[in-house]
Structure 1
């Protein structure tokens, strides 16, 4: 009976997290493609230079784009992206439950389910979904698992390093995810105590993070990008105060994304205040219990991370913080990666879920004494409070997340480009990187052309924030080509820039300038009411660069991801065979506060 109860306790959080993830994504799981703000999935992506991060714009979407391009050659790209997104949310909830069993030994099912709910059902996840940051959520989902793996390493458990490799590689789907993973891993492994010396643990972790980050580090080095960023982006991407809350209150409640349009409706009213109070009350209930565990260096490390994750983004939104940020992006290479300060609030999540679980555990112990209140009443009430704090998160964040269907015109253009022996990159009209198609909803979306077409599409990287604020990008050649099109330049000027094609997207607003004069002198290839494709005569491809370092870097990342998964699985099977706990297993019965 005990074994059966233990198996049930382990299985329920897995199933519960999967059900929560399905409830959150809702309509998006139907046929179609994710297309909302920064999220673009397409039927098929291609291994272009842009997918490897080798354009002159910053390599922000590697190895994400490379992975999708590889997988979509076998499986529909829309299915690939939605599967990764669903897995991220599911594993986030499950990982929170595992974190509770590792750091709160003996915690029952109720605290685990509360932890899963807090990890999944919060403004951070909702706002990043609405902003289209699906791949960032893989890094977020990895955080509790990274803590579990790091604790296994500290306790000398077999398989800990394999598990950490898998988790950091999964988080490294984006540069931001790799940094989030590195901070958490280094904080836990660098805390005092644990078996072995801290120096080797930290050294191996740094080497692992560098290897996982190879795709974007190599791409940045090869393209010469990432040196500086537009300082206007610091204020544009700073954390934002929500109604009834200052900036610090917003980020403490895991909200405050820079884009005021990418928030659930409940966060645009005073309910943002009520919801934040509910969430923080749930977290605060467990702080006394965690304080009693202050001898555990891992708990202390997570508390320091959470404090920094709230205070630093709030400070970065002040006048002083903005001035420091503007100086950094101009003078410190790569500092532009840090300008969206609210995304670092993810580092508070491990402590939040741990505190929520500890609070439920303490409250349940108190109410069970008179036996007048069922023990399950406490976790059920707390879960209801967390859900009530964000009532419109269900079913695609109030229906905002829903799949789209692309017009057949896109496939016709793809077929023309695949069949043509001509060379050169694609320039797109209207200029700019964002679109508002009739089929894409009310919010501007990233142009799908760079991920839809089998030829490199020029991108400036310029971002329009709010109604009028513009943040300049790094794509110098793309910016020159846009100027040529808007001025109605001659075709040979486009050919000199290695532009072989011009694609006109007819159903979206945007700047066209005098481009019709240029189009009239180009060769029409295909057109309908949606799209028109033109050939630039005399264009030649830019001199090919050596892609092998970028390809090798991506293969290193993929090897770490697959190797970490196989190693962790093998270690787990071996530990079961020898009746010893593996990654995260057995921590329910063993806790060493002095070692973490």
Structure 2
């Protein structure tokens, strides 16, 4: 084939995984393409958000939604907030799949078929299904960043010292910032980078990670909410869960096992869970030896792919040996990371493992981030996609006399691999069986937001953080009031899980809720910093003796669904201006890393013909 023909084929091979990943993303989240807003369990999108103290992480609850809430508050006056959230979710799914294909192409030099298998493993799995159903759209950005983080760390490792490597460090900074929409996402990306980047680059990676995590680190230090110990009851409540016939370890190895049994596809409650897990692990196992470098190269593996401008490694043939050694080290490190990511959450679900974690969250500030241990199974995804891609290539090679990358056997093998991954989890399609669908808020929410024109925080009735509105479906959803209204909405942070209540950090919110349910005076509410009381009339929940308190307040707005009251003589409990300034600065730093890092990675072009010194043994 001529040089131009090879170039065209190479460009086509790079376009197809991106298109395939986008197609799977649409199949998974397709219902969100219509009008409306995402409101499902922990996911809350609203037309407009506001830059409240809580959005900056300065409320009296832990800063778990920082910087995502501040980002939405900044952008939603310009672009509808619901559209922003839906776009981020779709882009995250696309990026997870396409990143898996690029990672497999660069670390294993596989052809198109195995790349498509890698895309499928990254997107069509129980982890994605369960986190979509739980409403963890921002966590999925951290999940999507993992293959790109691994790729950036590998490229930094390959470059070594003494080279102009700004594009790779920019890519790593952008990955950290994208993953850092939530603290857990930052931990996922940071762990991946530190394990892979090489010892001489660890300090630089940690500095970047700290900068990308500045919003929630600053908020935790300023508010003090995240420094308090967490409720040990959260460990058992959020422990990984065994699925039918799998046990906890098997569920986690199959990328499932979320704590909430209601946030799983229907297929995971049947013997299909066992079948899907067995097939996934079998396809992964086929490629483990190749990924770890323990087997001989299969037919056609020794032929190095044609270099094009799209290759971002920037090395030349002279450095191929060093690059291959670095690739092998990175692949082996990802395999170890995957094993740890499966085994440790399984140990955390045992009685003695839970006892250890309960002691940790009760005595170590910030350890509450570890209570949902199943989240960290995401760290296994990069290794899984590599093993499945390598396995696809190995199986195809057995049926090809030569050039397996272009043989019909490769296409057939990839098709079979993809079918075996997709069919047992068929109900991931179209919003996990239709569970993911947009909702429409009544106009009353907008009218209430317009009426709130004074100081003071907002207390909400009924008590609790979760709601069941007529328009929100059958499952309980987080109250949209904190993201819908222009003042801080006081929330206790208490979570009902499996018939028990896990205490939150909102001490003042708990005091306010107790005062309302006991029918305390308006003066009592005002002294606690409450300027407004919102009654959500169409959702069940405790209201206690609140009528006694409401009778003392001024009615500002009322319709069939919402009622708003003004509290007289309110003591303003807003955050100190200096704290807000520091929080703003931290968010600006995060935004600069996100935008600047990704632009630097996209614009800066490595010198393709520069000779790169291979990594040394200690890198």
Q: TM-score, normalised by structure 1?
A: 0.93
Q: Which residue of 1 aligns with 2:302?
A: none
One of 300, 308, 321 as aligned partner of 2:340: 308
How far does residue 28 in structure 1 lie from its aligned partner after superposition?
A: 1.4
Matched, 1:519 2:523: no
The gaps in structure 1 that reach 5 residues or longer are: 191-197
The aligned residue for residue 147 of structure 2 is 144
142 and 595 in structure 1: CA distance in 2 versus 1, 3 angstrom threshold: farther
Whole-angstrom distance in 2 between the partners of 1:433 and 1:367? 58
**What's the CA shift for 1:369?**
2.9
Q: What's 1:225 paired with?
A: 225
1:178 aligns with 2:186: yes
Q: Distance in 2 between matches of 1:426 and 1:503?
A: 7
Deviations 1:220-240 (A, max 9, x none): 111111220000000000000
Conservation of the 8 A alpha-carbon contact between 2:53 and 2:575 = no
Cα offsets for 1:244-276 (capped at 9, x unmatched): 110000000000000000000001122111111
Does 2:531 align with 1:500? yes
Distance 1:270 1:35, change over 3 A: same
User: Aligned with 1:52: secondary structure?
Assistant: coil
Counterpart residue number, 2:582 = 549
The correspondence for 2:135, drawn from 132, 136, 141, is: 132
Cα distance in 2 for residues equivalent to 1:543 and 1:20: 45
Matched, 1:408 2:439: no
Tell me which residue corresponds to 1:289. 290
Question: Matched residues in 2 for 1:373 and 1:6: separation?
Answer: 18
Contact 1:54/1:219 (8 A) holds in 2: yes
Q: Give the whole-Å Cα distance in 1 for the aligned partners of 2:390 and 2:599.
A: 33
Q: Does 1:476 align with 2:499?
A: no
Is the contact made by 1:367 and 1:373 (CA closer than 8 Å) also made in structure 2? no
Task: State the secondary structure of the residue aligned to 1:187.
Answer: helix
Q: Distance in 2 between matches of 1:593 and 1:368?
A: 37
Distance 2:144 2:116 in 1: 16
Secondary structure of the 1:6 match is: helix
Contact conserved, 2:287 with 2:391, CA < 8 A, in 1?
yes
1:112 aligned to 79, 101, 115, which one? 115
The more displaced of 562-571 and 115-124 is 562-571
8 Å Cα contact 1:154-1:595 kept in structure 2: no
SS in 2 for 1:135: helix
Q: Which residue matches 1:564? A: 597
- Greater alpha carbon shift after TM alignment, 538-547 vs 504-513: 538-547
Of 7, 10, 14, the match for 1:6: 10
2:563 matches 1:532: yes
**3-state SS of the aligned residue for 1:51?**
coil
Q: What residue in structure 1 maps to residue 207 of structure 2?
A: 207
Count of residue pairs the alignment pairs up: 573
Q: 1:431 to 1:267 in 2, by over 3 A?
A: same
Distance in 2 (alpha carbons) for counterparts of 1:289 and 1:595 = 23
Which of 496, 516, 528 does residue 464 from structure 1 map onto? 496
Partners of 2:108 and 2:291 within 8 A in 1:
no
Q: SS state of the match for residue 604, structure 2?
A: helix
Using the TM superposition, give the Cα deviation of residue 386 of structure 1 relative to its aligned residue in structure 2, in angstroms: 0.5
Alignment partner of 1:76 out of 69, 75, 80? 80
Deviation at 1:581, TM superposition (A): 9.5
Residues 362 and 543 of structure 1: is their aligned pair in 2 closer, same or farther, counting only changes over 3 Å?
Answer: closer
CA distance in 2, matches of 1:252, 1:593: 34
1:339 aligns with 371
Q: 1:544 to 1:254 in 2, by over 3 A?
A: closer
C-alpha distance in structure 1 between counterparts of 2:553 and 2:279, whole Å: 61
Q: Deviations over 1:535-579 (max 9, x none)?
A: 11111322541211111111111111111012112213xx3xx55
Give the C-alpha shift of residue 68 in structure 1.
Answer: 0.9
Question: 1:265 maps to which residue?
Answer: 266
The residue that corresponds to 1:249 in the other structure is 250
Q: CA separation in 2, counterparts of 1:438 and 1:240?
A: 30
Task: Determine the C-alpha separation between the residues in 1 that align with 2:235 and 2:610.
Answer: 47
Residue 67 of structure 1 pairs with residue 71 of structure 2: yes
List runs of 5+ in structure 2 lacking aligned partners: 296-324
C-alpha separation between the residues in 1 aligned to 2:214 and 2:435? Answer: 35
What is aligned with 2:362? 330
What TM-score does the superposition give when structure 2 sets the normalisation length?
Answer: 0.90
List structure 1 runs of 4+ shifted beyond 6 angstroms: 370-373, 590-596
CA contact (8 A) 1:297 1:595 kept: no
Q: Which stretch of the first structure deviates more once superposed, 65-74 or 158-167?
A: 158-167
Partner SS, residue 406 of structure 1? coil
The DSSP-based 3-state class of the residue aligned with 2:426 is coil
- In 2, the alpha carbon distance for the partners of 1:360 and 1:581 equals 33
**Secondary structure, counterpart of 1:374 in structure 2:** helix
| Separation in structure 1 between the aligned mates of residue 34 and residue 192 of structure 2, nearest angstrom | 35
SS at match of 2:539: coil
Cα distance in 2 for partners of 1:519, 1:408 equals 23
How far did residue 592 of structure 1 move?
A: 8.7
